[in-house]
Structure 1
Amino acid sequence: MATHSPTSHRTWPRLFLEDFERTGTALWFFLYLLTWIDPKTGRFRASYKRISENIGVSIATLKIWLEQLEEEGYVQDESLDGMIVVYVNW
């Protein structure tokens, strides 16, 4: 049976809050990317329209979130022609 240190229970919430403070609501988009990303390549590719419809936000919001995630070093963006091509920095 594994034992946990008293601080281990605070690690994930603290990390999540720190990430949320840096990225704001863009963090939810990052979690979406992690759900659909190819685990072998760290790559995600889809149209802005498809993602917008899936998560219920505007394309403009997606672009803002993507820019925030890129500025904070979470992803590398190679988007073009209405497609998002993102590489997650593991």
Structure 2
Amino acid sequence: MSDSSQPLLERVARVLCGAAHSANAEGRETSAGEHVDRHWREHLNQAQAVLHTMREPDQAMAAAGDEQVWKRMVEAAITQKADA
């Protein structure tokens, strides 16, 4: 299994920040990368909310794998600190 060098909380915060500022999503910036690098931490609360929602797998997810493993993995992501 591959893994990322960035904690999931940070990756989600970066995606939320990018979505808010990139012209490819809801924003106006044609290149939001530098903005995201500077401001992703402002989206950590939103990222935490997303992860809290993800703790409980839906029916399709539960049918695809082990629910308890999923819950433990998401809990680990919630408690892991993002690189600040």
TM-score normalized by structure 1? 0.30
Question: Which has the larger share of helix?
Answer: 2
Question: Which has the larger share of strand?
Answer: 1
TM-score normalized by structure 2? 0.31
